[in-house]
Amino acid sequence: MVLREMGNRMMHRIFVVNWWQAFLKAWESSCGAKGMATLVIPANYQFLLSPLMLKGPCLASTIQIQLQGKLVAAEKNAWPSYKYAWILISNVNGLTVDGTGGSLDGFGSSWWSCTNCQRPSAITFNSCNGLTVNYLNIINSPKAHININNCVGATFSGITIQSPADTHNTDGIDVYASKNIWIKDSTIACGDDCIAISGGSSYVNVTGCACGPGHGISVGSLGNGKSNTVEQVQVRNCNFTNTQNGARIKTYAGGSGYARGITFQEINLIQTRNPIIINQFYTNTTQSLKNGGVEVSGITFRGFRGTSMTNAAITLNCGPQGCFNIVLDRNNIVSSQQGKPASCSCKNAHGTITSSLPNCSCLLP
């Protein structure tokens, strides 16, 4: 179904009406079709859109959404009530979203100054298995740009995300409770984690992604909820430029769960703060200790190259239970500040180091 009702005479015009009802009708037609269905959002149009929920399960065996035009979120004061996401796609299997030529504008500037507001994400995929999202361009989300929640088997490729560096909690892509996820060949500039891999997630692969500005690629935070496990994560061939962190694992003091089987390799750094960091005292600046802690083990940092904006190139700040099987292999991180050496600091960290700079003599066997 082509979402076009006004004809060619309306080309290039911005629609000032709210297209929520037309989108919902088009979705119901596509979802209820027999066999394969395609929903086209046409080029050269801009659609003003209130919060939208596209729900399955669908009768259609597969659905393709072709986003060729531009969707613009209604401003904050026009929302009837708080919603978790501007666009929520839920319980739709075999979905393909092709964003070639189109874009999503979350109009986050109408939200960012409201520090006490519950802000929505731009788009959330919930319980969508066999999902493919290509060439999606998203700008200025009120909060996270993409949420992947409770999905099995999803590929995100050629994603472009952009929001200002000083916008709080505007993560690029957040992965929650999902398995067999690929994120590749994407460019993310935002005000928080470029990619965050959170509790209940496993077998997540990130490759060929560029991050900056932002807070790097993070595993966690873990230990502050019911689902506190992440395992089998591979991050490879990624670039961090002027980011607050590079590769980060963050857990709450005294939490439970584990982060294990995680590898960051072939990482390029340009003036990155905290290029490698494990922080088991996340949000706890006093580092007061509690019983227990999230298990962090089997973590590999290999082939990091480039510059650290501060001398703190490697920080392994583990809780009293310790982090184990940490591998530092063939890294070469130097300070971008002339005449200042890059350094490594450790606390309760156990592992091995091979052919790496800076030297982490503090790493325990």
What is the token pair recorded at 330?
A: 């063939």
Q: Is 266 helix (H, G, I), strand (E, B) or coil?
A: strand
- Return the number of other C-beta atoms located less than 10 Å from residue 171's C-beta: 25
Separation CA 269–CA 114 (nearest Å): 33
Indicate if the alpha-carbon torsion angle 213, 215, 219, 224 is positive or negative: negative
Cβ–Cβ under 8 Å, residues 52 and 79: no
Q: Measured between alpha carbons, how far is 365 from 350 in angstroms, rounded to an integer?
A: 5
Annotation marks residue 193 as catalytic: no
Query: How far from 150 is each of 22, 246, 341, CA to CA, in Å?
Result: 28, 26, 44
Encoded tokens for 190:
């935002």
| 152-157 and 179-184 beta bridge pairing | parallel
Residue in 192, 193, 329, 350 annotated catalytic: 192
Please indicate whether residue 171 is annotated as part of the active site: no
Catalytic residue among 98, 215, 329, 350: 215
Which amino acid is it at 128? C
Q: Distance (Å, rounded) from C-alpha 37 to C-alpha 55?
A: 15
User: Pairing state of beta strands 179-184 and 52-55?
Assistant: unpaired
How far apart, in whole angstroms, are the C-alpha atoms of residue 316 and residue 76? 41
The catalytic residues are 192, 215
